[in-house]
């Protein structure tokens, strides 16, 4: 492949395609070759698209004809397995959906295709997006390209690892409590959870309907903005989709790289999420503070803010999420689609349903279905689900009062760098704490971005910084994110991923 | 319970006070379903091409699919709420009712729970003797219908003993309004008649609103009848607490409502008088034997784990929309009855005859299609009612008002004798002939239909 390297950003690839320096077929083939070379070790993909080259040829033809060319036309993309694809199995990382090919595309997938992007395949994830390490995938764990012994985060570890290992320039993820942002942090990539309602959920296999959002997983902030522009906007098939028009997030990212873009920007530092005794690794905090100093030097103003109810976020989240999930996952009953297990000697429909769910769901899914069923039960509803919804309101108020004093909030994206595979898999509570900083944004419906802030000195692994903005103000995240990214890349002398070990 | 073991009805009423409650499900006749754009089979313009053909990913509950509320169904529900004298909620919400059943595609039903769209109303119903009785309405809420199971193998057609079951999801997602009454006190000896008149009135209301085809034999209108008995209080004592109720499901004709209520009163009275107790349960109604049998036990502790449906926003209708729907309401049944009786020139007895046969709408539509009122009445309460009775069907299922008006016209013009006309009606009712077209309307005289 001439013209552009595999480590280039998606926007650089798009520029090379536009300049005729490379074709989509060449670019796609290069990625398929890369997947063949390294995915045996990384295991980012569950399915590689057999028709990728055809889609690439169609994109090239579209470009040659000058017919409705979009900025990302011809750029390959990886798709999280939680999203329905009409031409590829969509299992959400679960055995219960083994081989299931939906009769429709998710709206986000349809929009990606309509823009002429080339689906490379489906990426690994924790089963039904329940997890923070991708170890709960029914199809085996994904390995972090920075250290194959370590987790790539979760639930979207596959998309993040694919992008970090140059097996895809850009990917789609979904974020219910941090499943885009936390994998981004531990793999040195960029991830955005849009405002709730900003991106259609139609065709995203539901985990917790009031928390789920689809979003971009990329290597640069501009790439995330470009993809957000493709997938975002109103969808009449999702009643929770916001009907308003949105500004261009790619433009917001470009604005961030201009001189003085963060001058006067008030960055709120959440006091409750910035100290070691709150469970943060020293190197994570060190890079976090350095990033904030860089922004301060560019004219941003740091404001300390309090969010007293954030400490209850995990507790509330682990009632609301399982409650909704227990209902959303009821449909996996063997009657219409997916796995069916008949007990020896036959059985009633109830027995077949039970046997199927027993065999088809993994331990974390069962844990949360049981938890959620309990939380919604008569006599417990008020104490559990009801109280959790009240906490949710209090967290929304915390955001409201914080945003009276600042334009964006900053926290580390995750408390630690990537841990070892197997380290927390038997300790659900330790696993749940990984999403300490990302969960509040989902509970409040506000947007969040994670981007690399460096390597932790103690282990040399990637660290992420998170910014959050008021609902519908996603553009602010792209502007501040791009500004910081530019300053950091200048300081590092190149993208952080250049420092990742060479695979294969 | 064998019929011989039932307590005599009058005796039962002497010992006990019946308390009733009805849940009526109305299938709305919108073009598409409650939460998807699949054609709605409860609108007979949507001709089905067989099982599982009127479905989308939403109706099958496929992973990733999401519901979108049908605006027309909401408007129909508001109109119905207003016609029932209810208040319309400024904000109402859908909720998920969670339970596993193979005809329920998502294994939860989207319904309304603590925030229904309409609440607190009342309906006046007129009994056969002309007495007006007021039925208090608790609420009317929107929900989706489930699919249909066919149990194959086994003798009974029931799930027990079946070899396997087939599921048809065409009906899944059909928009429903469930109308729930408050406990109905004071019906006494008229309890069975109140049940029949109530369902008949609901049918008249939804038909006059044009929001449902309201054909009970097709399941457009379905009634669950709750009956409980409590001992009569002695003079000077406070009334006894409510007795344990049974819910007789799917009583699907007006005559059956009357029979089922009467049967349950007699059955429960016999048990209670013998010192037994009533099991709280759902019961099945058997049209053929005129009896009920136990279904599944039902307790108030049935746990459906309701919670607000996170895929949908609250329904907050514009007050202007509510007012325009209110302004467009047809006249109330009682007012309408008075008007029709006067304009048709029927005697009280003649009018009661039509009313009690549940044929008011048919006669009205037949008159609107050009027939003389007396002729319309004669055909519907005479020949057609006789045929319907013989076939155990609703008269409206046999022939359309338009067809009746055309037969009347053919008789009047001398093209048919009365005897030939009866044969035509019989042929149409049996599905052996198509409805006739009068030569006054048809271009050619050769278009005459005969029974073959």
| Tens digit of each residue's pLDDT (9 = 90 or more) over A362-403 | 999 999 999 999 999 988 999 999 999 999 999 999 999 999
A277 in any annotated domain:
no
Tell me the HSE value of B419 on the side-chain side, using a 13 A CA sphere: 0
Interface of B to A at Cβ within 8 Å reads 57, 60-69, 96, 98, 100, 102, 105-108, 165, 167, 301, 303, 305-307, 310-313
- Cβ within 8 Å, pair B64-A84: yes
Reply yes or no on whether the pLDDT at B360 is more than 50. Answer: yes
- For chain B, the residue count is 452
A112 in any annotated domain:
yes
Q: Give the span between the Cα atoms of A446 and A112, in whole angstroms.
A: 24
A196 in any annotated domain:
yes
Mean of pLDDT values over B45-57: 93
How high is the pLDDT of residue B3?
Answer: 74
Mean of pLDDT values over B253-281: 95
How high is the pLDDT of residue B287?
Answer: 87
Q: Give the span between the Cα atoms of B71 and B33, in whole angstroms.
A: 10
How high is the pLDDT of residue B298?
Answer: 62
Q: Give the span between the Cα atoms of A313 and B369, in whole angstroms.
A: 67
Kindly report the nearest CA distance between residue B301 and chain A, in angstroms: 8
Q: Give the span between the Cα atoms of A431 and A495, in whole angstroms.
A: 29
Q: Quickly count: other Cβ atoms within 10 Å of residue A129's Cβ.
A: 30
Give me A503's structure tokens.
């695979």
pLDDT band at B443 (very low <50, low <70, confident <90, very high): very low
Residue with structure tokens 């046997």?
A355
Q: Quick check: ipTM above 0.85? A: yes
For residue A237, which residues of chain B lie inside 8 Å, CB to CB?
Answer: 66, 68
Reply yes or no on whether the pLDDT at B171 is more than 90. Answer: yes
State which residue of chain A sits closest to B56, comparing Cα positions.
A103
Kindly report the nearest CA distance between residue A205 and chain B, in angstroms: 4
- Say which residue, B49 or B438, is predicted with more confidence: B49
DSSP state of A282: H
How high is the pLDDT of residue A114?
Answer: 98
Q: Are B436 and B448 in contact (CB under 8 A)?
A: yes
Q: Give the span between the Cα atoms of B82 and B262, in whole angstroms.
A: 31
- Cβ within 8 Å, pair A236-B68: yes
The question of whether A95 is a catalytic residue gets the answer no
Q: Give the span between the Cα atoms of A117 and A5, in whole angstroms.
A: 18
Tell me the backbone φ, ψ of residue B102, rounded to 5 degrees. -65, -20
The question of whether A11 is a catalytic residue gets the answer no
Q: What is the CA radius of gyration of chain A?
A: 21
A248 in any annotated domain:
yes
Closest CA to A117 of A207, A7, A227: A227
For residue B61, which residues of chain A lie inside 8 Å, CB to CB?
Answer: 331, 336
The question of whether A327 is a catalytic residue gets the answer no
Flag the least confident range among A396-400, B249-253, B377-381. B249-253
Give the pairing of strands B118-126 and A76-80: unpaired
Element (H, E) at B295: strand B291-297
- Cβ within 8 Å, pair B63-A333: no
**In chain A, residues 109-168 whose CB comes closer than 8 Å to chain B:** none
Q: Considering chain A, what is the average pLDDT of its residues?
A: 96
| Tens digit of each residue's pLDDT (9 = 90 or more) over A198-237 | 999 999 999 999 999 999 999 999 999 999 999 999 999 9
State which residue of chain A sits closest to B301, comparing Cα positions.
A378
Residues 6+ apart with CB under 8 A from A58: A116
For residue B107, which residues of chain A lie inside 8 Å, CB to CB?
Answer: 330-331, 333
Q: Give the span between the Cα atoms of B361 and B369, in whole angstroms.
A: 12
Reply yes or no on whether the pLDDT at A2 is more than 50. Answer: yes
To the nearest whole percent, how much of chain B has pLDDT over 70? 93
| Tens digit of each residue's pLDDT (9 = 90 or more) over B380-392 | 999 999 998 888 8
Residues 6+ apart with CB under 8 A from B245: B19, B21, B226, B227, B228, B278, B280
pLDDT band at A299 (very low <50, low <70, confident <90, very high): very high
Q: Give the span between the Cα atoms of B305 and A80, in whole angstroms.
A: 31
In the set A9, A94, A159, A179, the catalytic residue is A179
State which residue of chain B sits closest to A325, comparing Cα positions.
B310
pLDDT band at B447 (very low <50, low <70, confident <90, very high): very low
A282 in any annotated domain:
no
C-alpha A283: how far from its chain's center?
Answer: 23
Q: Which of A106, A323, A327 sits opposite B64 (nearest CB)?
A: A106
Reply yes or no on whether the pLDDT at A242 is more than 80. Answer: yes
Q: Give the span between the Cα atoms of A109 and A104, in whole angstroms.
A: 10
Burial of B46-83, coded b for 16+ CB within 10 Å and e otherwise, reads beeeeebebbbbbbbbbbbbbbbbbebbbbbbbbbbbb
Q: Are B118 and B78 in contact (CB under 8 A)?
A: yes
Q: How many domains does chain A have?
A: 1
A421 in any annotated domain:
no
Q: Give the span between the Cα atoms of A160 and A192, in whole angstroms.
A: 12
To the nearest whole percent, how much of chain A has pLDDT over 70? 99
Q: Are B404 and B384 in contact (CB under 8 A)?
A: yes
- Cβ within 8 Å, pair B311-A209: yes
State which residue of chain B sits closest to A206, comparing Cα positions.
B64
pLDDT band at A12 (very low <50, low <70, confident <90, very high): very high
Reply yes or no on whether the pLDDT at B440 is more than 50. Answer: no
Reply yes or no on whether the pLDDT at B342 is more than 50. Answer: yes
How high is the pLDDT of residue B352?
Answer: 84
pLDDT band at B358 (very low <50, low <70, confident <90, very high): confident
Kindly report the nearest CA distance between residue B299 and chain A, in angstroms: 13
Q: Give the span between the Cα atoms of A407 and B161, in whole angstroms.
A: 66
Residue with structure tokens 């109305």?
B26
How high is the pLDDT of residue B306?
Answer: 96
Return the biggest CA–CA distance within chain A: 73
For residue A333, which residues of chain B lie inside 8 Å, CB to CB?
Answer: 100, 102, 107
Task: Give the domain range for residue A210.
Answer: 10-263+449-499
Reply yes or no on whether the pLDDT at B442 is more than 50. Answer: no
Flag the least confident range among A7-16, A340-349, A472-481, B160-169. B160-169
Is A245 near chain B, with CB under 8 Å? no
CATH of residue A117's domain is 3.90.1300.10
Element (H, E) at B167: strand B164-168
- Cβ within 8 Å, pair A203-B64: yes
3-state secondary structure of A350: helix
A153 in any annotated domain:
yes
Give me A112's structure tokens.
């990606």
Q: Are A445 and A195 in contact (CB under 8 A)?
A: yes
- Count Cβ–Cβ pairs < 8 Å, chain A vs chain B: 100
| Tens digit of each residue's pLDDT (9 = 90 or more) over A487-499 | 999 999 999 999 9
Reply yes or no on whether the pLDDT at A81 is more than 60. Answer: yes
Tell me the backbone φ, ψ of residue A215, rounded to 5 degrees. -160, 175
For residue A106, which residues of chain B lie inside 8 Å, CB to CB?
Answer: 64
Kindly report the nearest CA distance between residue A379 and chain B, in angstroms: 10
Distances (CA, A) of A484 to A305, B50, B61: 21, 61, 44
In A306-457, which ranges are E strands?
408-412, 448-455
How high is the pLDDT of residue B449?
Answer: 35
How high is the pLDDT of residue B396?
Answer: 86
pLDDT band at B5 (very low <50, low <70, confident <90, very high): confident
Burial of A98-114, coded b for 16+ CB within 10 Å and e otherwise, reads eebebebbbbbbbbbbe
Q: Quickly count: other Cβ atoms within 10 Å of residue B16's Cβ.
A: 21
Q: Considering chain B, what is the average pLDDT of its residues?
A: 90
Residues 6+ apart with CB under 8 A from B188: B13, B17, B18
In the set A9, A155, A241, A291, the catalytic residue is A155
Flag the least confident range among A45-54, A350-359, B292-301, B393-402. B292-301
Q: Give the span between the Cα atoms of B244 and B299, in whole angstroms.
A: 10
Q: Give the span between the Cα atoms of A245 and A193, in whole angstroms.
A: 18
pLDDT band at B201 (very low <50, low <70, confident <90, very high): very high
Beta bridge partners of B225: B22, B248
Residue with structure tokens 């009018």?
B351
| Tens digit of each residue's pLDDT (9 = 90 or more) over A267-280 | 999 998 988 888 89
Closest CA to B370 of B403, B394, B339, B396: B403
Give the pairing of strands A170-175 and A76-80: parallel
Tell me the backbone φ, ψ of residue A28, rounded to 5 degrees. -65, -45
- Cβ within 8 Å, pair B312-A239: yes
- Cβ within 8 Å, pair A209-B307: no
Return the biggest CA–CA distance within chain B: 77
Mean of pLDDT values over B365-383: 93
pTM over the 0.80 mark: yes
Q: Quickly count: other Cβ atoms within 10 Å of residue A476's Cβ.
A: 20
3-state secondary structure of A264: coil
Beta bridge partners of B144: B175
A308 in any annotated domain:
no
pLDDT band at A68 (very low <50, low <70, confident <90, very high): confident
Highest mean pLDDT among A275-289, A319-333, B115-129, B248-262: A319-333
Distances (CA, A) of B69 to A157, A329, B74, B93, B414: 35, 22, 8, 11, 53
Q: What is the DSSP string of A89-139?
A: ---TT-GGGTT---SS--HHHHHHHHTT-EEEEEE--SGGG--SSSTT-TT
Mean of pLDDT values over B22-27: 98
Distances (CA, A) of A25 to A20, A61, A174, A265, B250: 12, 10, 28, 43, 62
Q: Give the span between the Cα atoms of A230 and A418, in whole angstroms.
A: 30
Mutation site, A100, A236, A330, interface B, largest B CB count within 10 A:
A330
3-state secondary structure of A236: coil
Q: Are B105 and B61 in contact (CB under 8 A)?
A: yes
How high is the pLDDT of residue A49?
Answer: 98
| Tens digit of each residue's pLDDT (9 = 90 or more) over A412-467 | 999 999 999 999 988 888 888 889 999 999 999 999 999 999 999 999 999 999 99
């Amino acid at each position: 492949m001439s013209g552009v390297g595999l480590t280039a950003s998606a926007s650089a690839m798009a520029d090379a395609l536009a300049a005729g320096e490379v074709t989509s077929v060449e670019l796609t083939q290069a990625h398929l070759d890369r997947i063949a070379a390294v995915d045996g070790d990384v295991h980012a993909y569950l399915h590689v698209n057999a028709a990728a080259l055809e889609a690439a040829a169609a994109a090239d033809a579209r470009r040659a004809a000058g017919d409705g060319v979009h900025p990302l036309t011809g750029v390959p993309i990886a798709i999280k397995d939680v999203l329905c694809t009409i031409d590829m199995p969509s299992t959400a990382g679960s055995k219960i959906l083994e081989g299931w090919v939906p009769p429709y595309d998710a709206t986000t997938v349809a929009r990606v295709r309509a823009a002429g992007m080339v689906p490379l395949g489906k990426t690994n994830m924790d089963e039904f997006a329940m997890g923070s390490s991708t170890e709960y995938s029914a199809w085996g764990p994904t390995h972090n390209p920075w250290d194959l012994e370590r987790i790539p985060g979760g639930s979207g570890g596959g998309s993040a690892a694919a992008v970090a290992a140059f097996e895809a320039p850009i990917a789609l993820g979904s974020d219910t409590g941090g499943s885009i942002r936390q994998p981004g942090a531990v793999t040195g990539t960029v991830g955005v959870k849009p405002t709730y309602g900003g991106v259609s959920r139609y065709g995203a296999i539901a985990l917790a309907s009031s928390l789920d959002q689809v979003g971009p997983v990329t290597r640069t902030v501009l790439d995330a903005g470009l993809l957000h522009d493709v997938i975002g906007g109103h969808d009449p098939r999702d009643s929770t989709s916001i009907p308003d028009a949105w500004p261009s997030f790619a433009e917001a990212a470009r604005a961030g790289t201009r001189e003085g873009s963060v001058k006067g920007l008030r960055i709120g530092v959440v006091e409750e999420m910035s100290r070691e005794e709150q469970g943060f690794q020293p190197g994570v905090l060190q890079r976090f503070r350095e990033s904030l100093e860089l922004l301060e030097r560019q004219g941003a103003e740091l404001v300390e803010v309090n969010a007293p109810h954030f400490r209850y976020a995990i507790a509330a989240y682990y009632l609301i999420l399982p409650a909704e999930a227990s209902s959303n996952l009821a449909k996996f009953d063997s009657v219409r689609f997916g796995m069916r297990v008949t007990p020896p000697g036959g059985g009633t429909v109830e027995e077949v349903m039970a046997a199927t769910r027993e065999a088809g769901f993994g331990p974390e899914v069962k844990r949360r279905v049981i938890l959620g069923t309990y939380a919604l039960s008569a006599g417990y509803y008020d104490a559990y689900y009801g109280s959790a919804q009240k906490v949710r309101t209090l967290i929304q108020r915390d955001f409201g009062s914080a945003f009276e004093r600042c334009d964006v909030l900053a926290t580390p994206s995750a408390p630690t760098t990537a841990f070892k595979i197997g380290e927390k898999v038997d300790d659900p509570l330790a696993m749940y704490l990984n999403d300490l900083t990302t969960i509040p944004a989902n509970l409040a419906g506000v947007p969040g971005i994670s981007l690399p802030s460096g390597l932790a000195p103690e282990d040399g692994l990637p660290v992420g910084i998170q910014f959050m903005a008021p609902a519908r103000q996603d553009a602010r995240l792209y502007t501040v994110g791009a500004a910081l990214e530019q300053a950091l890349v200048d300081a590092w002398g190149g993208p952080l991923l250049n420092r990742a070990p060479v695979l294969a | 319970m064998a019929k011989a073991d039932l307590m005599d009805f009058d005796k039962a009423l002497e010992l006990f006070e019946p308390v009733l409650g009805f849940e009526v499900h109305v299938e709305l006749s919108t073009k598409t379903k409650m939460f998807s754009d699949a054609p709605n089979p409860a609108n007979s313009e949507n001709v089905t091409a067989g099982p599982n053909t009127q479905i989308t990913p939403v109706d099958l509950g496929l992973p990733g699919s999401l519901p979108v509320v049908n605006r027309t169904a909401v408007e129909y529900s508001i109109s119905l709420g207003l016609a029932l004298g209810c208040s319309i909620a400024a904000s109402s919400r859908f909720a998920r009712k969670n339970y596993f059943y193979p005809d329920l595609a998502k294994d939860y039903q989207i319904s309304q729970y603590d925030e229904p769209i309409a609440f607190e109303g009342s309906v006046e119903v007129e009994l056969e003797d002309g007495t007006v009785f007021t039925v208090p309405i608790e609420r009317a809420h929107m929900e989706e219908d489930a699919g249909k199971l066919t149990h194959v193998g086994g003798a009974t057609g029931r799930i027990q003993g079946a070899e396997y079951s087939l599921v048809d999801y065409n009906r899944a997602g059909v928009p429903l309004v469930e109308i729930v009454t408050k406990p109905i006190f004071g019906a006494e000896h008229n309890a069975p008649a109140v049940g029949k008149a109530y369902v008949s009135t609901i049918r008249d209301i939804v038909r006059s609103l044009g929001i449902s085809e309201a054909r009970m034999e097709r399941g457009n209108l379905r009634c669950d009848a709750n009956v409980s008995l409590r001992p009569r209080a002695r003079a000077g004592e406070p009334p006894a607490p409510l007795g344990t109720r049974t819910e007789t499901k799917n009583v699907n004709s007006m005559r059956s409502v009357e029979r089922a209520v009467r049967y349950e009163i007699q059955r429960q009275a016999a048990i209670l008088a013998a010192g037994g107790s009533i099991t709280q349960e759902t019961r099945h109604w058997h049209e053929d034997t005129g009896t009920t049998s136990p279904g599944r036990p039902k307790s108030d502790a049935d746990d459906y784990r309701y919670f607000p449906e996170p895929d949908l926003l609250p329904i907050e209708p514009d007050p202007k929309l509510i007012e325009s729907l209110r302004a467009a309401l047809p006249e109330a049944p009682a007012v309408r009855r008075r008007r029709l009786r006067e304009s048709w020139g029927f005697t009280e007895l003649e009018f009661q005859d039509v009313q009690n046969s549940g044929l008011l709408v048919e006669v009205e539509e037949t008159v609107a299609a050009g027939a003389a009122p007396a002729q319309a009445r004669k055909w519907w309460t005479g020949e057609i009612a006789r045929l319907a009775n013989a076939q155990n069907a609703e008269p409206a299922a046999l022939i359309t008002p338009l067809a009746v008006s055309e037969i009347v016209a053919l008789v009047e013009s001398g093209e048919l004798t009365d005897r030939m006309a009866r044969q035509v009606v019989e042929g149409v009712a049996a599905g052996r002939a198509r409805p006739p077209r009068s030569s006054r309307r048809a271009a050619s005289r050769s278009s005459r239909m005969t029974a073959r």
